Amino acid sequence: MRHMFFAAILAFLLSGCLSVYKLEVQQGNVITQEMIDKLRPGMTPSQVRFVMGTPLITDPFHPNRWDYYYYLRRSNETAGESQRVTVVFKNDLLFAVQGDTRIKSGDPATMESAAKPAAGGTPAKSDVSRLRAL
């Protein structure tokens, strides 16, 4: 009886040592819809940096493009969730926002047309107004 009690206590104490704790992995910039809503066409890079934070990736070959990437894997999940937003500048002014954003206006063509310049290389008024919906 005494040996069974000792074995039960030993098994109880060792069971805590056998569980493996997995860390929650969170990397990159947290991107919220409120941040995306604050972006306006024509903002300067410093204004965008104030709203969105420092970009995770600044490509030396494309200095007018900032990439914001966020990855979260919770401790109880095997696969993580990621979110990517790309901010494009033209003539040091905000030109387009692309990536995993929710469009508020309900126009499915908003994201594609906001990234395309009008004829002549400058964004048309409709393209700039559509950027607001991103």
Reported as a single tens digit per residue, the pLDDT across 60-84 is: 898 899 999 888 888 877 788 888 9
Position 56 pLDDT exceeds 70 = yes
> What's the domain range around 28?
23-131
Is the residue at 67 inside a domain?
yes
Longest dimension (CA), the chain: 91
- The long-range contacts involving 12-19, CB below 8 angstroms and separated by at least 24 positions, are none
- Name the β-bridge partners of 68: 85
pTM of the predicted model as reported, rounded to 2 decimal places: 0.59
Is the residue at 45 inside a domain?
yes
Is the residue at 13 inside a domain?
no
Is the residue at 118 inside a domain?
yes
Residue with tokens 């990855």: 71
User: Among the residues of the chain, which ranges form H helices?
Assistant: 2-18, 33-38, 45-52, 110-115, 125-131
Alpha carbons 17 and 119: distance in angstroms, whole number: 66
Give pLDDT, residue 5. Answer: 76
**Tally of domains in the chain:** 1
Is the residue at 3 inside a domain?
no
The overall average pLDDT reported for the chain is: 74
